[in-house]
A and B are shown apart, each in its own frame.
Chain A
């Protein structure tokens, strides 16, 4: 059993009195791929927002290894080793694919270090672009990419960033079955080297990649276990899986 990498302790946050996350406790081991599932509004995305510093916790604590992320600024959290893919693909639309990757490759975040470095380092970026199938679009502005390609670019950005902890918010949204399979492949390949948390609705995808699932409901953890254990869980069926017919895959 490996060491605990990420730990959330009694995390609470409220938006205008609505407790989006309520006493959430979660711990993820190093190198583990954890899927976070739950009905809409369960607080999954908010939980990711809290970890990466987009939202501030009302109370509770977030620890990454021996670092306390709770009060850090968002860019400090990123430096501490947290990378995030957003639900809505957000890439730099006016920059080319290559430039997007250059930005993501944040070896030295300091201002002056970057002032005296060339804009094009090129090390290994072609390789990365090839890996996600964007080798021919390297000099294309990201604005010209299709939705699927934008998703791939964002995944490539995460790979370039090379964080210890990777947060993926609905990585397969808008992808074809084939692309979803490729995403699952990438996730499986990253597993072990990186700690990954995936928020996803697509149960098939979750079964493909997840060792342990955590089910959230109304801002707290409802259940935790393997895919089979979760499917068998009465409470989970009641609040979430019962409605799978509506969500679809």
Chain B
């Protein structure tokens, strides 16, 4: 290219792209808020709320995986811990009939626990539970990140270590049956009550709670990606050694990425308990964790909203297919084929499709612009021949 000065217009173009991004994110959130207006079926609404929660986890993974390059296969660990924090608080709020003697949760009575375990006591406060539901996953992610990234563990080993951490967490929850309800999880929960407002899982109120949390965390994550730290995340993904030679403590940035991701996943976990009305070890098992990765990959891991939509679509499709008679036996096959097709033809997921179309449009508009500039270009290139390789 020659030196026809396009930089001012280019600059406004990149600012415009940023505005477009915010507008697109806002549009998606608005759409999510409008859904209950068109749906009168509480069961369907509950199910969509569930998909939104799953979308939140996928979005959280996009932040650490797509931006900072940390493939966290243990994303469900943060999610599950959040959901258990909420379940513990809600369990302690059930009407005494369900909670055995002296307000002890029923499964503890069956396990011959006589006094409320110390770890459960603070969960009598809902405020504590909500803070714990975010802080516990963050602390565990930060600790894990501290060990991995201070030791400069990278790539596939990060995936293996996070996966192993998830399995350990899962086994612990199943094993500590008298404190966690074991395989059965924590069931028979009270409804969440915040500021005197009750959130029935099968009502629009819970849906709006989920939609609000989703919007807030989506924009919080967007703010992170648009900050300088977000830029450094992407630089780390590209070449972390080079980032270090600019003076940045790469490990600290990676720990930050993992912690923010864990905070959102923890919040999503809490909401999941509210929507599903129970917590179970399947919330932090390997299949769910791998599904999150797949949703993220299908939607586009380098786009927060892409991952969100990917999760909603795939999880929704999964639900619809597995219940339709025609695909009763073959729905996993359909899912598998979808995944393979996306990975083969859209390496950047569905969000990559948007970039692809935008580039095509920009190219064709530039071509017409180029035609207008041609005489000027010829002149400049004649005078600048040899100036550049």
Contact = CB atoms under 8 A, between A and B. Distances in A.
Interface of A: 52, 54, 74-76, 78-79, 83-84, 86, 90-96, 98-100, 102-104, 106, 109, 111, 114-119, 121, 126, 133, 135-139, 146, 148, 157, 161, 176, 178-179
A92 B247 contact: no
A192 B294 CA distance: 55
A52 B11 CA distance: 35
Interface of B: 1, 3-7, 10-11, 13-14, 224, 226-232, 234-235, 237-239, 241-250, 252-253, 256, 386, 388-389
A78 B5 CA distance: 35
A35 B234 CA distance: 34
Contacts of B239: 90-93
A111 B256 CA distance: 8
B242 A99 contact: no
Given A92-B235, A94-B237, A135 B246 contact: no
Contact of A109 (B6, B7, B230, B248): B248
Contacts of A74: 244-245
A137 B5 CA distance: 11
Most buried by A among B227, B228, B231, B248: B228
A116 B223 CA distance: 9
A92 B234 contact: yes
A117 B227 contact: yes
A114 B231 CA distance: 9
A46 to B, nearest CB: 16
A111 B243 CA distance: 13
B3 A136 contact: yes
Nearest to B224: A115
Nearest to A122: B11
Contacts of B388: 133, 148
Given A94-B234, A138-B7, 6 more contacts: A75-B250, A83-B245, A111-B256, A119-B227, A135-B5, A178-B386
Contact of A176 (B13, B231, B389): B389
Contacts of B238: 92-95
Most buried by B among A52, A54, A103, A138: A103
B249 to A, nearest CB: 5
A161 B246 contact: yes
Nearest to B389: A148
A111 B253 contact: yes
Contact of A136 (B6, B226, B235): B6
Nearest to A179: B389
A241 B243 CA distance: 37
A119 B244 contact: no
Nearest to A130: B7
Nearest to A119: B231
Nearest to A79: B247
B232 A114 contact: yes
Nearest to A154: B242
24 contacts: A75-B244, A78-B247, A90-B241, A92-B234, A92-B242, A94-B238, A95-B235, A103-B235, A103-B243, A106-B246, A106-B247, A109-B247, A115-B224, A115-B228, A118-B226, A119-B231, A121-B228, A126-B7, A135-B5, A136-B4, A138-B10, A138-B11, A148-B389, A161-B246
A74 B224 CA distance: 26
B351 to A, nearest CB: 14
A84 B245 contact: yes
A237 B226 CA distance: 56
A111 B252 contact: yes
Nearest to A176: B389
